[in-house]
Chain A
């Protein structure tokens, strides 16, 4: 079982802001989703102490040798409107500045400026 690296689609299919880093992050997400079941199976084999030691070590090796994009740790939440990777509101998928802009423009339902 070898993890083949999928080819990059030529056509960009992202509706929001697109730059190289957004594309790369999206790629990581797609690859992670594709190999998640495989990864979980290997992780299970590693943790299962009832399996022979050889099998477990093999599973460990395979996990270690797999491409870094199959890991979820490389995925970073990025702003959908600007591509920024910092201070992202997870609920809105926006960074703080874009959130402010859109909230003040009334584009975010249920969000209003606090005043008391």
Chain B
């Protein structure tokens, strides 16, 4: 068989299987294009938070159901206790004048 016929065959093969016809074996960098993208798999290594407890609570609230958040309850109780002992947070100073007068008292 003539050499040119064989090249024709290779050419057709490349066209059918969508390969790169490169009889001179030039370095065309096509192996880079053939590589798969690894970004999506690498980016999903750490599990993403899809639903928070607050969102769950809110979704139940629509149906008139109440949920019990122990951590939030503890926090509110601690605040109440601190307030009773006079250890609550100071009042927010809204204006510059207020914050200045607060400093002077000391």
Determine if chain A interacts with chain B: yes
Instruction: Enumerate chain A interface residues (CB-CB to B < 8 A).
Output: 13-16, 22, 25-26, 29-30, 32-34, 36-37, 40, 43-50, 72, 75, 77-78, 80, 93
Q: What are 26 contact pairs spanning A and B, CB under 8 A?
A: A13-B48, A14-B46, A14-B47, A14-B48, A14-B49, A25-B46, A32-B42, A33-B39, A33-B42, A37-B37, A40-B33, A43-B29, A44-B32, A44-B33, A45-B29, A47-B27, A47-B28, A48-B27, A49-B29, A50-B28, A72-B38, A72-B42, A78-B45, A80-B46, A80-B47, A93-B45
The dominant DSSP class at the B interface is loop
Bound Cα distance A26, B44 (Å): 9
Q: Please indicate the chain A residues that have their CB under 8 angstroms from the CB of B30 in the complex.
A: 44
Q: Assess whether A75 is in contact with B35, with CB atoms less than 8 Å apart.
A: no
Chain A contact residues: helix, strand, loop or mixed: helix
Given known contacts A40-B33, A44-B29, is B47 in contact with A16 (CB within 8 Å)? yes
CA distance A25 to B43 in the complex (A): 10
Give the complex CA separation of A33 and B42 in angstroms. Answer: 7
Separation of A80 and B38 alpha carbons in the complex (Å): 19
Q: Does B26 contact A (CB under 8 A)?
A: yes
Are B26 and A50 touching (Cβ within 8 A)? Answer: yes
Extra A-B contacts (6), CB below 8 Å, given A22-B46, A26-B45, A46-B29: A25-B45, A32-B42, A33-B40, A43-B29, A50-B26, A78-B45
